[in-house]
Structure 1
Amino acid sequence: MFRPRPRPRAYNAPVSFTVRAITLDLDDTLWPFAPIGARIDQVLHEWMLQHSPATAAMFPVEAMRELRERSFRDNPHLHHDLSALRRLTIAEALQASGASMDLLEPAYEVFYAARNQVECYPDAIGTLARISARVPVAAVSNGNADLERIGLMQHFAFQLGSRDHGYAKPHPSIFHAACQRLGCGHGEVLHVGDHVEMDVAGAARAGLRTCWINRTGAAWSHPELEPDLEFDTLTALADWLDAHLADACRPTSGTYA
């Protein structure tokens, strides 16, 4: 399904435009995150039952989730680094329960292994291969997924996470950094993602073209900005690229290292 949306009147942009590269969100764009989050909670709790029963007793799944949410609220300076926040949450749970801090890194690795066990949307992998064969694709994410561990890195020019960059979406600098590495002007890059503010509004303010992947059929909710494109699957985006970018070419000046 394709629903073209005009950008704010100041842009006065047509539905058909040049796309020399794509930046792509990961969580809830390539795969749903909710099943991952639930599995992480359960796997980490089961590990604590075996290796630190006192921690598991003091922080069952719901209590550990509440601790994680509190750590997020209390540490806004770490919002770009979800790995640091996860380590902080585990460390607080271990300390509060009198457990050895030697368990911190093994517990984190249990979390991280579960975090990278993703199940992509049915259309995602095949469509990603189609899109990356047409234009360079860079992953731009606030999450801490590892495309190498997941086995999808071959479809991407590079992965730019907020932890490495130092700022999270919707900060414009992370979008601009991706454009620079791609060797493209801001208006030549299409950012694709599911989140109204983090992906669409953030990228639009940074000067990128935007595509909202709206798999749930939700109504657009931003009061000021709208995406250039809206699709309910990545396949529909690939079809749009095939129809509109017959003359698209890869940038000649990109440096993806």
Structure 2
Amino acid sequence: MKTPTATPPSTAASAVVELDVSRIRAVTLDLDDTLWPIWPTIARAENVLQAWLAEYAPATAALCATPGALREVRNHMNTTRPDLAHDMSALRRESIRLVLQRAGDDPALAEPAFEVFFAERQRVELFADALPALAFLSSRFPVVAVSNGNADVHRVGLGAHFRAALSAREFGVGKPDPRIFHAAAEAAGVSPAQVLHIGDDAHLDGVGALNAGMQAAWLNREGQPWSHGPQQPHTTVADLLALCRQLG
């Protein structure tokens, strides 16, 4: 098991604070790259989608295999559909629809094609510390998932550990906007000051939680330096079980 990453030493320009376990009444938790690695999951889902397209929309499959084609489609969607910026499902579905149209296949195939991708996207491979940490946390606190992605904690098989789950797609804004953190605190039945937020992304999770008035635990599996301003997370750990030990 990895040992906790040391908090950077205090300087005159830093606002180093310590975790106050006594005021934690609820936990909010990121999903992607906190409980499982996301990019292997996405790569596998894209491979399954490509195999499906090869059978049902071969012209689209050929276009998708063209170097740079999918990147261009994603860039086009990001530019032309900023309204979908916080809805990963809709962005993926409409990207599939666009490439179907460009290839001359039936754009109605976007719906079943997306479902193939989405089903595989829910088949995650958890980090070794994820289940024991979830069992520990959910036995002591209400736990609320807060994600900018489109994982479904119930389809993933972890729903029993969560009081609620908030996604940017459903809520309308994502991390680091304080509003989604405040909504998560409300779902847990506590004030933001009584919440410990746990996540791997220093900006989205760490800075977002701090700005929302929560305590922040930065899950820093790779030992990266904190480079997001003088205000620092209340604790930095290399794995979730190290955090559980701090919470006692």
TM-score by length of 2: 0.91
| CA distance in 2 between partners of 1:142 and 1:75 (Å) | 17
1:15 is aligned to 2:54: no
SS of the residue aligned with 1:191? strand
The aligned amino acid for 2:19 is V
Deviation of 1:52 after TM superposition, in Å, equals 0.6
* Distance in 1 between residues matched to 2:186 and 2:7, nearest whole Å: 27
Structure 1 residue ranges, 4+ long, deviating more than 6 angstroms after superposition: 8-12
State the Cα RMSD in Å. Answer: 2.1
Q: Which residue matches 1:135? A: 141
Aligned counterpart for 2:91 among listed residues 73, 78, 85: 85
Offset, 1:179: 0.8
Secondary structure of 2:126's aligned partner: coil
Aligned equivalents of 1:30, 1:210: Cα separation in 2: 16
Aligned to 1:42: 47
Q: Quick one: structure 1 residues 152 and 120, their matched pair in 2 at CA, closer, same or farther if it must change by over 3 Å? A: same
1:38 to partner: Cα distance: 1.0
Partner of 2:49, secondary structure, is: helix
Instruction: Return the alpha-carbon distance in structure 2 between the equivalents of residues 216 and 73 of structure 1.
Output: 32
Instruction: In structure 2, give the amino acid aligned to 1:173.
Output: R
Is 1:25 aligned to 2:41, yes or no?
A: no
Q: Distance in 1 between matches of 2:235 and 2:79?
A: 33
Q: How does 1:232-243 map to 2 (within 5 A)?
A: 232-242=238-248
Shift in Å, 1:77: 2.4
Tell me the distance in 2 between the aligned counterparts of 1:38 and 1:167.
Answer: 26
- Percentage of pairs with the same residue: 44
Alignment counterpart, residue 176 of structure 1, candidates 169, 179, 182? 182
Number of equivalences? 242
The one-character-per-residue Cα deviations of 1:133-162 (angstroms, maximum 9, x if unpaired) are 011110000000011111100001011111
Give the Cα separation in 1 of the matches to 2:49 and 2:64: 11
Aligned partners of 1:121, 1:160: CA distance in 2, in Å? 21
Q: Tell me, what secondary structure is at the counterpart of 2:165? A: strand
With normalisation by structure 1, the TM-score equals: 0.88
Q: CA deviation at 1:58?
A: 1.4
Q: CA deviation at 1:78?
A: 1.4
Structure 2 gap segments, 5+ residues each: none
Aligned partner of 1:209 among 215, 218, 228: 215
Residues 215, 234 of structure 2: 8 Å contact kept: yes
Deviation at 1:206, TM superposition (A): 0.9
Q: Matches of residues 119-198 of structure 1 in structure 2 within 5 Å?
A: 119-198=125-204
Instruction: Give the residue type in structure 1 aligned to 2:95.
Output: T
Q: Any idea what the Cα deviations from partners look like across 1:202-238, whole Å, max 9, x if unmatched?
A: 1111111100000111111212331111001011111
Instruction: Answer yes or no: is the 8 Å Cα contact 1:203–1:210 preserved in 2.
Output: yes
SS of 2:175's equivalent in the other structure is coil
